[in-house]
Amino acid sequence: MLRYLTAGESHGPALTAIVEGFPSGIVIDAEFINRELERRQGGYGRGKRQTLETDRIIVESGTYHGVTTGGPITIRLINNDAKLERLQEPASPRGGHIDLAGSINYQTGIRQVLERASARETALRVAVGALARVLLREVGIEVFGYVRELGGIEAPPLSFEIEVRDASPVYTLNPEVDPRIVAAIDAAKGAGDTLGGIVEAVVTGCPIGLGSHAQWDRKLDARLALAVMSIQAIKAVELGLGIEAARRPGSKVMDPIVHKATDPDDRRFGFRRPTNNAGGIEGGTSNGEPIVVRAAKKPISTLASRGPSVNMVTKEPQLAAYERSDVCAVPAASVIVENVVAFEIAAAVVEKYVGTSLSAIKTAMAAMHELNRNHLKNEYRTDKSS
């Protein structure tokens, strides 16, 4: 079972993740992981914190000469802005944050809970997700994330080129609308406000059969939804058509199935969907089409204009506490969703192919492919068809 835990506070000395169940035999691509961390720190609209931090992974266990051993992998990120013990208790809780409910839930001050709830933790999620992508790359699975909408401005992709996304200040695939989005972020900042948006992650190369229909907690769509919904400020998760499916008749939602003879290595055994409204998962199981996960990120609740709140001592009205904050973190959210999705796909791969090592996974994948080819041949023979 591939899983991870994170630890650390936003302004504590460091953030730590322990990744358990990661297969042996994978060369840790620190350059790639650090590049993903850098992308998470970027995007137009971020606050000053990102100029203070330089996120670079330190791998403290689970490798030997840079190659994974199968033992738990410890990943550490140092916080340059470590000042937890010097920070004061906010006088008034911020709406949209853990501040009030967490202080009551854990019988602490606000500081203790907000430091842990902070999205600084998402740096670790990106690090472990990017680590998982190194494994996925080895088995031909790629994940790609981008921004689809920001501040209500739609940015439908004009192409799916990584260079286009990486050249965009807001990580869209539509350079034509970028200037409008940047202007909207500037306007929000000027008004002491913030902006949210919609991001999408697309997984290609998945074999048929990740996840399962047989039990609720083994369904791949359910696992993806849990993982993505757990990201700070994500308020909705969709697969494929998502909410839009509810508005259409069945004939405009169901993906037709066609078959074309292909080479024996084809992971879809020749089966194709001209449309992909299901977003690559049917009955909790990957169907070989691209897996498309969309997530809605709310605008940041810490407002420079400060929302109404109360003083925790007097209970008198007092504006919500303001601490240095992002105006827009939607581009960063696209990087986080991309890598969080990658981790769940890698976990499904490790589970299905009983992967203690990379070579075990590759062997099991090839064997399963042959098994399924033979199954299709034997189960559906012409002499058996009715």
Between CA 15 and CA 36 the distance in angstroms is: 16
**Nearest distance from C-beta of residue 345 to ligand FMN, angstroms:** 20
Does 37 bind ligand FMN (CB under 6 A)? Our answer is no
- C-alpha radius of gyration, the chain, whole number: 23
**Nearest distance from C-beta of residue 55 to ligand FMN, angstroms:** 12
- Determine the 3-state secondary structure of 143 from DSSP: strand
| Contacts (Cβ under 8 Å, ≥6 apart) of 244 | none
Does 122 bind ligand FMN (CB under 6 A)? Our answer is yes
Cβ proximity to ligand FMN: between 117 and 182 the closer is 117
Does 356 bind ligand FMN (CB under 6 A)? Our answer is no
Does 103 bind ligand FMN (CB under 6 A)? Our answer is no
Does 340 bind ligand FMN (CB under 6 A)? Our answer is no
Does 16 bind ligand FMN (CB under 6 A)? Our answer is no
Between CA 316 and CA 104 the distance in angstroms is: 18
Q: Which of 60, 112, 50 minimizes the C-alpha distance to 84?
A: 112
Stretch that binds ligand FMN, among 196-204, 229-237, 312-320, 343-351 (CB under 6 A): 229-237
- Determine the 3-state secondary structure of 190 from DSSP: helix
**Nearest distance from C-beta of residue 366 to ligand FMN, angstroms:** 38
Choose which of 233, 241, 349, 358 interacts with ligand FMN (CB under 6 A): 233
**Nearest distance from C-beta of residue 225 to ligand FMN, angstroms:** 14
Does 33 bind ligand FMN (CB under 6 A)? Our answer is no
Helix/strand number for the chain, H first, E second: 10, 17
The answer to whether residues 333 and 233 touch, using CB atoms and an 8 Å cutoff, is yes
Count of CB atoms within 10 A of residue 275's CB?
A: 13
Does 320 bind ligand FMN (CB under 6 A)? Our answer is no
Does 225 bind ligand FMN (CB under 6 A)? Our answer is no
Stretch that binds ligand FMN, among 84-92, 139-147, 226-234, 366-374 (CB under 6 A): 226-234
Q: Helix %, strand %, coil % for the chain, to 5? A: 35, 20, 45
Say which DSSP state 360 is in.
Answer: H
Choose which of 6, 10, 92, 118 interacts with ligand FMN (CB under 6 A): 118
| Burial status of residue 32 (CB atoms within 10 A of its CB: 0-12, 13-18, 19 or more) | middle
Does 334 bind ligand FMN (CB under 6 A)? Our answer is no
Cβ proximity to ligand FMN: between 118 and 174 the closer is 118
**Nearest distance from C-beta of residue 162 to ligand FMN, angstroms:** 20
Cβ proximity to ligand FMN: between 182 and 245 the closer is 182
**Nearest distance from C-beta of residue 72 to ligand FMN, angstroms:** 26
Does 329 bind ligand FMN (CB under 6 A)? Our answer is yes
Does 164 bind ligand FMN (CB under 6 A)? Our answer is no
Between CA 308 and CA 365 the distance in angstroms is: 56
| Contacts (Cβ under 8 Å, ≥6 apart) of 110 | 89, 90, 93, 99, 100, 102, 103, 312, 321
Residues in the site for ligand FMN, rule: CB under 6 A? Answer: 47, 96-98, 117-119, 122, 231-233, 298, 300-302, 325-326, 329, 332-333, 336
